Amino acid sequence: MLLYVDANFASPYGLVAFVSLIEKGLEFDIETLDLAAHANQGAGFARTSITRRIPTLIHDGFALSESSAICEYLDETFPGTRLYPTDRRDRARARQIQAWVRSDLMPIREERPTFVVFNGAKRPELSERARESADTLFSAALALLEDRGDYLFGTWSIADVDLAMMLQRLIVLGDRVPQQLIEYATHQWRRSSVEQWIHKKRPPLVEY
């Protein structure tokens, strides 16, 4: 089994694919691509990944990109830690959260790229537009976590990593974040599978 990720180990999508493989107890190799050099557009990778995107998982000749698709494939194919809740509605909510943080909150993603989390990049204060997006994030996260404890669904799921990743974009630079959400995100960041990604050796920062 092989997982293609970005050379800076900064992709939030590479993170959740990596964590999913670790949680399932699977053995796999990692191959990195230099996105700054457009290595994902090369002919070799194009033959491997239809969409030329990372992460891409290769399993028994089957190539799959898009991190949420990879998470679902792994959960349906292998035993081990469940990545998604067993309850149907909770499972749907987890997928909703994953889709939301990938498609919305663009001002946060633009002004707080994941380089600030994993590579120490610095950024100026949030714009008014980004602060409004942050308030939307906080309101939704607090509602989702109400009476839930340390996890969205009572026990850990891969959606906790996705939500914590979005919060960490703000936390690491000292942006205003409700204390409950800081504690929640910090708890997710201490999970062994997540720490293994955090502590990956990274090359000097090259932003793209």
For the record, the structure tokens of 58 come out as 């290769």
Q: 129 or 205: whose pLDDT is higher? A: 129
pLDDT at 208 over 50: no
pLDDT tens string 68-116: 999 999 999 999 999 999 999 999 999 999 999 999 999 999 999 998 8
Domain 2-81 has CATH 3.50.50.60: no
| Contact between residue 41 and residue 146 where contact means Cβ atoms under 8 Å apart | no
pLDDT tier at 36, thresholds 50, 70, 90: confident
pLDDT tier at 44, thresholds 50, 70, 90: confident
Domain 88-193 sits in CATH at 1.20.1050.10
Widest Cα–Cα separation across the chain: 50
Per domain, the residue ranges of the chain are 2-81, 88-193
pLDDT tier at 177, thresholds 50, 70, 90: very high
pLDDT tier at 207, thresholds 50, 70, 90: low
pLDDT at 37 over 70: no
Predicted local distance difference test score (pLDDT) of residue 145: 95
Which alpha helices (H) appear in 62-157, and where do they start and end?
A: 67-77, 88-103, 106-111, 115-118, 128-145
Instruction: Return the percentage of the chain with pLDDT > 90, whole number.
Output: 78
